[in-house]
Structure 1
Amino acid sequence: MRRYLLHLSYFGTRYRGLQKQNINGDPKFDDSHTICGLLEIALKGCEPLNHPYVIPSSRTDKGVHALCNTVHVDLDGDPQKICSRSIHLHLNRFFTFNDHDIRILKVQQVPEEFHSRHLAYERQYLFRLAVPRIGVPWRQRLMVPAPLTEHNRCCFLQDPNFDSEAIKAACDIFVGVKDFGALCSKSRQRSGKVVTTVREVRSLDLAPGAPFVPSRQLSEDYTFWQFSCVGKSFLYHQVRRMVSALITYGQGRVGLPDIQRLIDEPVPDSWSPIYQTVGAQGLFLVDVLYRAEDLACNEELTAHQRKVKLLEEDAARIQHELIAFDGTVMDKINLKTRLLQIKKSLSTSSS
């Protein structure tokens, strides 16, 4: 059994989220509506001896995209047929031929104790939004050009009021080790799924953005911005709710004390409906980072470890034969010579 880390990119619009939905408690159920479910279906094509249970590092909701997310999976089978390269090729062939918005960026073998979620030390998110240069009446909002290149890839605001400098200054309220209980829904806390609402936001910034494809019309009608958020882990909807609160403040609909209250009074009642949580379409998981020592296992290293294990087994077998030896002197000399050669090889391998 070998463990593999898969780096993947996807547009989340078509799917019901990343996490597989188990029907009737059956973990082997084929779920073609989620990204993890499709990964498991595709991995079956590699013909492993076991069911390929996929463990994601960072769950994303329906509509959220990923420039790079990660999952790990255990696969048992012939290492000549199931390896990083063959998995990579097979999965991308499956997703391409079946017209899915999912692509595998990289596949690597990792240590057996590696865990994609527990060992991630940093996650990076990006939220894209476009602010109109002129106010748009509610009934005319569909008349404003919003090209297909940005469809479900960006959050388009209707209010041109957007104080970017005030928002940049307010971002610091959320940076650091804070209790984000106010950003966690009441139903989520009642369910018992949240153990602690304390999280560390390492950075949160607002910077000028850009459309995916340069467009004169877009530049005339909208100003693009992007929030960048970095931390080890986040609560459910935390990033989107931080962005929502900051946008609402930048539009002048709440004051700075209201934003500060979300941290000073970390209970769900501090969250006001006026913030209106932004949609998922503008949110991108940019990357999931790991320490090099946690990934310190590749197929060359594994092959080396297998060689060392075989040498150790040979040495143990020869030592056992020498203890119970009942042959000629020459045979005994040959066994001792072979044992010395193995020990020399082991010494060279460990240096």
Structure 2
Amino acid sequence: MGPAAGSVTARYLVYFQYLGTDFNGVAAIRGCQRAVGVQNYLEEAAKRLNSVVPVKFTISSRTDAGVHALCNAAHLDVQRRSGQPPFSPEVLAEALNAHLKHPAIRIVQAFRVPGDFHARHAATSRTYLYRLVTGCHRPDQLSVFERNRCWALRAGCLDVDAMQAAAQHLLGTHDFSAFQSAGSPATGSVRTLRRASVSPDPGSPFVLAQENRLQFWNLEFESQSFLYRQVRRMTSVLVAVGLGALMPAQVKVILESRDPLGRHQARVAPAHGLFLKSVLYGSLGKSSLPGKVPACIPLIDPSS
């Protein structure tokens, strides 16, 4: 069915965030299953926009069950009835937030984009953050506000220098088959890892002063795209290095083996410590993005 006579279709890029604890990933779950994805709630809210054609969200970056997003992205088309002008990005974002039925999802901002823009294919960079905490010998020693938001390790410390040395072996363009889980829809396993860092976190605001035995750590990975569970597998291997179970040089051996079933690389870090931190687009000029862009949401990839 073609566009209704006189109707206007507008495409938008929206940035949104969510705590993934309650969701079976970001992608919509179709049918009568009890599981639900973030996209289900987004599209339910979009029904209230009264678009001539049902609104579908095309998600930039798929995330698994339990994984969070500080900032994911999607594009959507809204076709208003004849005589009605397109929504402004501000009104669109406000309307979606007003009709979202889950408190763990929020639209951060929206922009008008060209009709051929694609949120997944146009992304030039994605950054993931993985949060660790050491010194947590029992689950009940972790703040209730931090549970499901980091991987709690019993170890009192990590050899961060060794982890950083190991991460250097992952940088650049490689076949990352050794860090890919089965079930990936990707046709190839070569990726370019631009950044891999390990750094101490100044501390969680949700941890009391008397709980100073806990130390938080941030691992960050940047690439244009990642393989299925690649970040969680790389994290698990780097943690093994930090705990002394692997030497940094062994990470290179694992990478070059292209074997995803090895003892260390087959382990997957828990989903609840992972956050999609940002999605960058290099194909959009600043003139295409009206309004002020928040500093926490870099839309333009400076390397492009």
What is the TM-score with the length of structure 2 in the denominator? 0.85
Q: Which amino acid aligns with 2:50?
A: E
Question: Corresponding residue for 2:168?
Answer: 172
How does 1:156-195 map onto structure 2 within 5 Å? 156-185=152-181, 187-188=182-183, 193-195=185-187
Which of 53, 62, 70 is the matching residue for 1:67? 70
Name the residue aligned to 2:108: 105
Aligned counterparts of 1:216 and 1:159: Cα–Cα separation in 2:
20
Shift of 1:7: 0.5
Residue type of the alignment partner of 1:4:
Y
Cα distance change of structure 1 residues 86 and 30 upon mapping to structure 2, 3 Å threshold: farther
Distance 1:296 1:57, change over 3 A: farther
Residue of structure 2 aligned with 1:3, choices 6, 11, 27:
11
* Counterpart for residue 275 of structure 2: 284
Change (3 A) 1:59 1:105: same
Question: For residue 14 of structure 1, what is the aligned residue in structure 2?
Answer: 22
Please name the residue that 2:99 is paired with.
94
Whole-angstrom CA distance in 2 between matches of 1:142 and 1:9: 26
Q: Could you say which residue in structure 2 is the equivalent of 1:238?
A: 230
Runs of 4+ with >4 A deviation: 29-32
Distance 1:147 1:127, change over 3 A: same
- The Cα shift of 1:274 comes to 7.4
Corresponding residue for residue 4 of structure 2: none
Whose helix fraction is larger, Structure 1's or Structure 2's?
A: 1
TM-aligned CA distance change 1:216 to 1:47, over 3 Å: same
Counterpart AA for 2:280? L
Query: How far apart are the structure 1 equivalents of 2:254 and 2:78?
Result: 45
- Deviation of 1:32 after TM superposition, in Å, equals 8.0
Residue 38 of structure 1 corresponds to 41
Pick from 127, 131, 148 the counterpart of residue 128 of structure 1.
131
Instruction: Give the CA deviation at 1:90.
Output: 1.2
> Residue type matched to 1:158 in 2?
R
CA distance in 1 between counterparts of 2:286 and 2:72 reads 16
Q: Distance in 1 between matches of 2:23 and 2:123?
A: 24
Q: Deviations over 1:19-50 (max 9, x none)?
A: 11233xxxxx9998211111111001010000
The sequence identity of aligned pairs, in percent, is: 31
| 1:265-284 superposed Cα distances (whole Å, 9 cap, x missing partner) | 11323x32576311011111
- How many angstroms does 1:77 deviate by? 0.5
Segments of 5+ residues of structure 1 without an aligned counterpart are 24-28, 301-351
Deviations 1:186-235 (A, max 9, x none): x326xxx221100011010000112143521332x211111011111000
Q: Say if 2:178 and 2:265, in contact at 8 Å, map to a contact too.
A: no
Q: Which residue does the alignment assign to 1:332? A: none
Equivalent AA in structure 2 for residue 156 of structure 1: A
Letter in 2 for 1:211: S
Q: Which of residues 229, 245, 249 is equivalent to 1:253?
A: 245
**Whole-angstrom CA distance in 2 between matches of 1:75 and 1:196:** 34
Question: How far, CA to CA, are the matches of 1:126 and 1:178 in structure 2?
Answer: 21
Partner of 2:215, secondary structure, is strand
Distance, in Å, in 2 between the alignment partners of 1:212 and 1:155 is 17
Residues 2 and 75 in structure 1, CA contact (< 8 A), matched pair in contact too: yes
Query: Which structure dedicates a bigger proportion of its chain to strand?
Result: 2
Partner Cα distance (2:165, 2:249) in 1: 13
Structure 1 stretch displaced more, 272-281 or 236-245: 272-281
SS in 2 for 1:199: strand
Aligned position for 2:302: none
CA apart distance, 1:18 = 0.4
- Match for residue 154 of structure 1? 150
The answer for the alignment partner of 1:317 in structure 2 is none
Equivalenced residue count is 280
One-letter amino acid matched to 1:200: T
What is the CA distance between 1:92 and its match in structure 2?
A: 1.1
Matched, 1:76 2:79: yes
* 2:200 alignment counterpart: 208
How well do the aligned residues superpose, as a CA RMSD in angstroms?
2.3
Counterpart of 2:172, as a letter, is G
**2:85 and 2:290 mapped to 1: Cα distance?**
11
> Residues 267, 154 of structure 1: CA spacing in aligned structure 2 closer, same or farther, 3 A cutoff?
same
1:303-322 map, 5 Å:
none
CA separation of 1:168/1:257 partners in 2, compared to 1, >3 Å: closer, same or farther? closer
For the pair shown, which has the larger CA radius of gyration, 1 or 2?
Answer: 1
SS in structure 1 at match of 2:73: strand
Which residue in the other structure is 1:262 paired with?
254
Cα distance per residue 1:87-126 (max 9 Å; x no partner): 211111123xx34201111111100010001010011111
For the residues of structure 2 that align with 1:251 and 1:151, how far apart are their CA atoms?
22
